[in-house]
Amino acid sequence: MRVGLDTICFSSWKLDAMGLLQKTIDYSLEGLQLGSQLFMNKPAEYTDEFLAKLHAHDLYVELTGSGVNPRDSGKTVDQMVESWKPLFPLAARMGAHCLNTCFGLYQERSMTNPTFAEQYERTIQVLKALAPMAADYKVFVTMELHVDLTYNELARMLDKVNSPWVRANLDTANSLGLMEDPVEAAEVLTPYAETTHYKDTCVYLTDEGFNWQGGAPLGTGLVDMPTVTRLLYKNNPDIHLNIEDGWGVIKIPCYDEAFLRSFPEQNAVRMMQFMKLLRRGKGMLDAGMHPHMEDIGKYDVRQAMAARLWHSAEYARRLRDEIEAEGK
């Protein structure tokens, strides 16, 4: 396993590709996942310069792709696929392992036109159309668990697409955004996982529902990182652990009836298990381990995120080394 950077950690810096690569080097990380749009409409020399520096430091690179859920855009499958056509040759030229994408966010679950079920089936059709291109270029399309699909919904989607080139990006914390346990998500999805967003987070109840934090220093939140990482290693010992940390919160409307009805597999046992996590999260918040919502704006975001990444990079490398040593 190699420990890398998901460059959302530096979103507030507004850095270009070379700046993000330098941050990766500064933190002694082993690769990065960044936006493919950073290379589009740039001269070839720009990408060449990036690759020369990447190779000089023996780093891997992964890229983001385009959308796969037409949602209410009115776009056809062919129109969705069209936006991917320049991305595959770019990824192949750069030696990028994958192009990452996702279904959406929690709002799609409550939509009525098109319904969640309609979006789900259309997304499968887009992924099926992308699969031959991914195979031709030998670049994986990875579907991220993104506070949009449950882990079983994502697994079923990948089964229906039925291509070795369309795989999962296991975000290790995002299952908490849909009231699911991260270890259970890892147990189901690690056999499908081709890459990760390696993340910790905290959730806690509010008057409107619950708050899901965009990230946390690894090992300080509610994700059982050792267990999840061991599952990742067991299923793919070469997987990349792309550290992702985000600022702020997403408010999850867990009291909304339409939202709740979109989870037919949810039951009282699983809900009460999640309630335990919410209580633990509130305890962490009250103990000062994570910022209260009303205090988030008081922080210097750049300074806070830079400090958090130092911690997370050391945590990830230490845990990786420990697990790999166990496997020898």
Domain extents in the chain: 2-199+221-246+301-326
For residue 281, the one-letter residue type is G
Strands 210-213 and 249-252: antiparallel
Question: What is the predicted pLDDT for the residue at 124?
Answer: 98
CA distance 196 to 37: 20
Give how far the C-alpha of residue 98 lies from the chain's centroid of Cα atoms, to the nearest Å.
13
Distances (CA, A) of 48 to 30, 41, 58, 164: 19, 14, 15, 30
The one-digit pLDDT tens for each residue of the chain (328 residues) are 999 999 999 998 999 999 999 999 999 999 999 999 999 989 999 999 999 999 999 999 999 999 999 999 999 999 999 999 999 999 999 999 999 999 999 999 999 999 999 999 999 999 999 999 999 999 999 999 999 999 999 999 999 999 999 999 999 999 999 999 999 999 999 999 999 999 999 999 999 899 999 999 999 999 999 999 999 999 999 999 999 999 889 999 999 999 999 999 989 999 999 999 999 999 999 999 998 888 887 888 899 999 999 999 999 999 999 999 998 6
Question: What is the predicted pLDDT for the residue at 328?
Answer: 66
CA distance 73 to 322: 47
Sign of CA dihedral 174, 176, 178, 182: positive
Question: What is the predicted pLDDT for the residue at 248?
Answer: 85
CA distance 310 to 274: 30
Strands 31-34 and 2-6: parallel
At the top level of CATH, the class of 2-199+221-246+301-326 is alpha beta
Sign of CA dihedral 43, 45, 48, 50: negative
Nearest to 51 by CA among 78, 14, 8, 91: 91
